[in-house]
């Protein structure tokens, strides 16, 4: 809505310190992000050209208000009056955004190591959980995802343009899920 855009514009101006663009370091002033274990991934997502709906790969050095709105649109909730086509497009956009967030090397694949890194980051604030336990949790979740993929699509009804590869590197087993 125009009210939401106005609110986001005020927030953009605050973050940019009344400049025309925002740089990564401007996100340092957001208290809610300070203790978020995946803070780096969130900030990185704002500058990922794939999320900015640009064809090229890589990172933007800075973003303008239009880019900021593009990224913030991925966080908006589902609207009740969306038809099936709008809902499908909305879900695909969110899924691509999340995929790009976790595909840290931008190769179009989320490997077990990339997934492990995210799980370790998410669980890093828990002083009672060792790194090896986080790795086991990540491995177990990926194995479950792989078992779901066998014979069917993991994301039913969602066609991702980027092939989704899930790799498990357990001693003798390499399982691929496309």
pLDDT digits (tens, 9 = 90+) for 45-70: 999 998 887 767 788 999 999 999 99
Q: State the residue for tokens 């931008």.
A: 106
Q: Nearest 5°: CA angle at 146, between 144 and 152?
A: 115
Residue 12 tokens read as 């953009």
Query: Per the confidence metrics, is the pTM higher than 0.75?
Result: no
Residue 135 tokens read as 């790795």
Q: Where are the domains of the chain?
A: 2-150
**Rounded average pLDDT over 137-149:** 73
Q: What is the pLDDT of residues 14-29, one digit of tens each?
A: 999 999 999 999 998 8
Q: Quote the mean pLDDT of the chain.
A: 77
Q: What is the pLDDT of residue 71?
A: 92
Task: Return the CATH architecture of domain 2-150.
Answer: Orthogonal Bundle (1.10)
Q: What is the pLDDT of residue 160?
A: 39
Residue 72 confidence (pLDDT) above 80: yes
Q: What is the pLDDT of residue 166?
A: 36
pLDDT band, very low/low/confident/very high, at 9 (cuts 50, 70, 90)? very high
Q: What is the pLDDT of residue 55?
A: 67
Q: How many other C-beta atoms lie within 10 A of the C-beta of residue 32?
A: 7
Q: State the residue for tokens 């709906």.
A: 53
Using CB atoms within 10 A of its CB, is residue 2 exposed (0-12), middle (13-18) or buried (19+)?
exposed
pLDDT band, very low/low/confident/very high, at 123 (cuts 50, 70, 90)? confident
Q: What is the pLDDT of residues 73-103, one digit of tens each?
A: 888 888 888 899 988 888 888 888 888 888 8
Residue 117 confidence (pLDDT) above 70: yes
Residues 6+ away with beta carbon under 8 Å from 51: 45, 70, 71, 74, 96, 97, 100
Angle between helices 65-73 and 2-16 (to 10 degrees): 120
Residue 158 confidence (pLDDT) above 80: no
pLDDT band, very low/low/confident/very high, at 7 (cuts 50, 70, 90)? very high
The DSSP line for 67-129 is: HHHHHHHTTSPPPTT--HHHHHHHHHHHHHHHHHHH-TT-SS-B-HHHHHHHHHHHHTT-TTS
């Amino acid at each position: 809505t125009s009210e939401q855009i106005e609110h986001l514009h005020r927030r953009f101006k605050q973050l940019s310190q009344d400049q025309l663009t925002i740089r990564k370091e401007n996100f340092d002033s957001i208290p809610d992000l300070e203790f978020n274990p995946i803070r780096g991934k969130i900030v990185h997502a704002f500058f990922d050209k794939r999320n900015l709906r640009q064809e090229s790969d890589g990172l933007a050095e800075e973003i303008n208000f239009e880019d900021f709105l593009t990224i913030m649109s991925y966080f908006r909730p589902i609207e009740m009056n969306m038809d099936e086509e709008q809902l499908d497009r909305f879900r695909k956009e969110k899924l691509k955004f999340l995929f790009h967030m976790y595909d840290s090397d931008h190769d179009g694949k989320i490997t077990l190591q990339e997934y492990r890194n995210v799980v370790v980051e998410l669980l890093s604030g828990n002083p009672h959980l060792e790194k090896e336990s986080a790795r086991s949790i990540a491995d177990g979740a990926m194995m479950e995802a792989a078992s779901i993929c066998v014979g069917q699509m993991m994301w039913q009804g969602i066609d991702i343009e980027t092939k989704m590869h899930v790799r498990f590197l357990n001693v003798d087993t390499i399982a691929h899920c496309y």
